[in-house]
Structure formats: C-alpha cells, structure tokens
Structure 1
C-alpha cells in the first residue's frame, strides 16, 4: 500500500531528488494539473484507482506534506491513446504528444517498467486545494 498522511493517500511525483522537487514546484505554482501512472503499479501495491473528489497528500522525498490536491478526473487509456490535452496539463514543458510519449517511455524504462503502445496508463487530473502553509488560490 502507498503511504498515507492522516486519511489521505500520498501522491509522490517522479523519482526522489531533483525530479520530485521540480514536479512538486510545478504543482504548487498551479502549472501542473495532471499526472500519469501505470495500471500495473496499482495491482502491485494493492491500491484502487483514485476517484474524482478524492484528496491526495502531495509529499516530498521524506513523505512530508507539501500540499493537498483534489482529483478532478481519472481515465485509463492505452499509452498510444493518451491525449495531447492531458499531456499538456502535466505542465512539464512538452511541445507535442510525441515528445511527451518519448519522455515518459524513457522515464518508465529507466525505473524498470518499459511501456508499449498497449500499456494501460492511469491519467489523473487534479487541482491544488492547499499548500503546507495554507490555502491555494
């Protein structure tokens, strides 16, 4: 199971270190409003998919709370079918869906889970509702 902070499931973006710090900063700046995961990770961890309205604890490398996001939508699609509007909502600077796919394929291969066009991707959209220091705008 994934870590919990109180009753909230933790949302730990990317890999620890510089990547997680950069992604968290994008969320806190309200630039990043989506993230993608692999359906296989949920099965391995015995976790259910997020659901619209669920709040998640955005955490740093030490599982400390940095903010709270509210899930606004969840969709499971083939890697090849992830839409550009979703990729753009991830806010990571990709200039095309092809660039997004290449970057994500490289990332998942690097962390030990190569993907194909048919790999099932969990596309989660969210909005920032609060930061560690108070309420978001």
Structure 2
C-alpha cells in the first residue's frame, strides 16, 4: 500500500494478492512503527471482544468465551487496527502508508474472522482508485501492493483476555515527493539505471521556486527555457525551517505552482557568501529580470527581507546566502531544447 517503499516481487516465488514478498525503504522515507496493539480501548476490553463503552450484551445472552466465537476475534481485531490508525495519525501517517504488519493470534481462533476485519479496515481507510494522469503513472511504475504480513500462532498473550495483537510499520515519503514528483523521478531513473547502482535514487527532493504560485511558475519557465541555471537561498531561513541545505550532486524535482512535477535539476557548485557579495556572473546565471547584479540585489533583498521578518530573523546585506548552480537533466525534450547536458 505505502508509496514510501518499493515492493519486491521476484518472478521465481509465488505472488499473493493478500501480502507482498519484500520491500525496499528509501532513506528519504520517514518510517513509523507501532508497538503491539490488542483490542483494548481506553475503557478496557469486554469478554466478547467489544470495548467496555460499546453497547452491552443483553442480560439473557448466553455466556461466551474468547475461543468459542469469531465475533470476539473480529471485534478485537477492529479495535487493535483502530489503535494502530490512531498511533499513525499522531505521526502524520495514514493506514494506506502501512507496509508491514505482524499479527500474533492466540491458538484455537479462526483466522478468517480476523482477516475479514482487516479487509473491512482496508476498505474503510485505504484509497484504491486512481486519480489523474500522475496517479496512473505512479501506479504503473510502482504498482500498489498489500503490505508484508507475518502471522504467528501463540499459546497466549500478556493480556489474558486478548486474542490478537498487531504491530504495524508505515512509511511516508519525505522531501515533498508527491505522486507527480515520484512519477517523473521514476521515469528518470528508468532511463538512467546506472544512477540506482550509484545510490543516487534516494537522494532527491521536490520543491518549487520562490513563494506562491505565480512566482513558482515564472521562475520555472526560466528554467525550462534554459535561462535560469542558478538559485539562491538564505542559510538562516533554511536552518530555521529545518530544510535541507543544497549540496553538489543532489537531484531536485521542480514543481509548478499547482504542485505538478515539470523537470529535474542536478545541483552543481554550491558556495556560501554574504548577500551583498553576490557576483555579476552569478546574477546572470540566475537569469531573472535583466540579469544584472543590481536587479538581483533589489529582488533578493525584498524576498529575503520578507522571509526573515516572517521567521523573526534579523536581516542585512551580510546574511549568509547559499549560491547554488544547477543543470536541468530531465525531461529529455526540455533538456534538448535548451542545449543543457
């Protein structure tokens, strides 16, 4: 299910529609793990698997034991999965980000009842439809798969009344890599498989230039035209917002103002210097306005000044600025049109 991992299904082993065989977790993905969750709600667990706050059983209902009814296992499984969902939500993850579950089942239970509850959980919380061309591309290149599943039959669990305990692991793509960015990145890697062997496939982030839709689209157009081959960032602002500092060789998927991936750039030379020390050559490589140093300084004083005020940082011409040069490497039609390498 998770889009934060790559699924492995070697053709030499059986393939199941209910679980996957293996995954690769890219370093760029954020992994969330839960401890073992059983059917406990804050109010406790009733013998038939319902939370104590649920509708009580009728007074004349026959007594049941955990081993005698599938309803107990189904009820506890639902509650355990709801506990998993709540933990993931605390970390900003969703059930569809789950890539592995471990299930501990007390012997004597019918696994089918728990499986039915799991299927209900997936139907309620996991999106299976494909929205738009970007989604379709991602599904084609890295098709969604069920998570890794391990089921162990145990004699008992620490909570005597518990029939099932579930652990889950989820992965959330980091660095702004939305579906559109992943689709373009996968396309680029497939055309350049040597990058995978070099370990480059995980060193990527997605972002847009400037602030706001109009500026993002305006600066992107300069990149696509081959005019803009550099960018600048306030080092203090990056650190304040805990963003990654540019480094040579890193790839970036550039998004337009609507969040759609339009091209991929690779960072070249990176230097740090005072804002007021920008060179005329760098201003020309940025390609904005008339390309002059004066135009660059006027625009960046305004942009960085507003950014520093928003973050509560002091501002002057001596703030450290990251001067980053880059080349566009994808898509090939845009690279060819600009003469970029």
Is the pair's TM-score, using the shorter chain for normalization, greater than 0.5? yes
Q: Does residue 3 in structure 1 map to residue 176 in structure 2? A: yes
2:206 and 2:257 mapped to 1: Cα distance?
11
Offset of 1:2 from its aligned partner?
Answer: 4.4
Question: Aligned equivalents of 1:110 and 1:44: distance in 2?
Answer: 14
Alpha-carbon RMSD across the aligned residues, in angstroms, is 2.1
Partners in 2 of 1:23 and 1:81 — Cα distance? Answer: 23
TM-score between both structures, scaled by the size of structure 1: 0.86
Partner SS for 2:257: coil
Gapped regions of structure 1 (runs ≥ 5) = none
* Structure-2 separation of matches of 1:12 and 1:90: 15
**Count of equivalent residues:** 136
Q: Are the counterparts in 2 of residues 74 and 124 from structure 1 also a CA contact under 8 Å?
A: yes
The residue number in structure 1 matching 2:246 is 50
Aligned-residue offset at 1:32: 0.3
Q: Are residues 1:115 and 2:315 paired?
A: yes
Distance in 1, Cα, partners of 2:333 & 2:293: 34
1:103 aligned counterpart, secondary structure: helix
Specify the SS of the correspondent of 1:30: coil
Counterparts of 2:297 and 2:334 in 1: how far apart (Å)?
33
For residues 26 and 135 of structure 1, the distance between their equivalents in structure 2, rounded to whole angstroms, comes to 12
Change (3 A) 1:2 1:45: farther
**Superposition pairs of residues 90-101 of structure 1, within 5 angstroms:** 90-101=286-297
1:109–1:115 Cα contact (<8 Å) kept: yes
C-alpha distance in 1, partners of 2:265/2:212?
19
Distance in 1 (alpha carbons) for counterparts of 2:208 and 2:237: 13
The offset of 1:88, in angstroms, is 0.8
User: Is 1:16 aligned to residue 212 of structure 2?
Assistant: yes
User: More helix per residue: 1 or 2?
Assistant: 2
RCO (CA 8 Å, sep 6+): is it higher in 1 or 2? Answer: 1
Structure showing greater Rg: 2
Shift of 1:110: 3.5
Aligned to 1:136, the other structure's residue is in SS state helix
